[in-house]
């Protein structure tokens, strides 16, 4: 492990600099800025729309049906905000930014494990 530890965006504990999952709280993407689910530009929680592509950053959680800010987790029920393509040949996991899979165009469904990861 080379480099300084950085605070996890969720639990604020110091973790290794290249962590994809926080080893302490178990959340994914614990480092760096939040990114737009459409264009991957940096976004902030207070923003209503992405400053680059204009997509709305407010979504309905596929697990609790409450409005929430787009991030890695729902701010209401704490579920991971990912859905999966219903096409058995595709099954791509992706952010819930539309009704259809961005790869094959089939319908999207919530993850079977309730978004836990």
The pTM of the full predicted model, rounded to 2 decimals, is 0.68
Instruction: Return the beta strands (E) in the chain as ranges.
Output: 6-7, 14-15, 58-60, 67-69, 83-85, 93-94, 108-110
Q: pLDDT, tens digit, for every residue of 2-41?
A: 678 999 988 999 999 989 999 999 998 899 888 888 888 9
Q: Residue 49's closest CA among 78, 41, 15?
A: 41
Q: pLDDT value at position 40?
A: 87
Q: Is the pLDDT of residue 114 over 60?
A: no
Q: Is the pLDDT of residue 111 over 80?
A: no
Q: Are 60 and 85 within 8 A, CB to CB? A: no
């Amino acid at each position: 492990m080379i480099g300084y530890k950085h605070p996890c965006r969720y639990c604020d504990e110091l973790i290794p600099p290249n962590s994809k999952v926080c080893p302490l709280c178990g959340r994914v993407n614990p480092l760096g800025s939040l990114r737009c689910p459409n264009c991957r530009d940096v976004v902030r929680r207070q923003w209503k729309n992405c400053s680059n592509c204009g997509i709305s950053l407010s979504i309905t959680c596929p697990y609790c049906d409450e409005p929430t800010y787009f991030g890695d987790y729902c701010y209401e029920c704490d579920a991971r905000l990912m859905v999966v393509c219903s096409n058995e040949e595709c099954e791509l996991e992706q952010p819930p930014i539309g009704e259809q899979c961005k790869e094959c165009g089939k319908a999207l469904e919530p993850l079977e494990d309730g978004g836990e990861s």
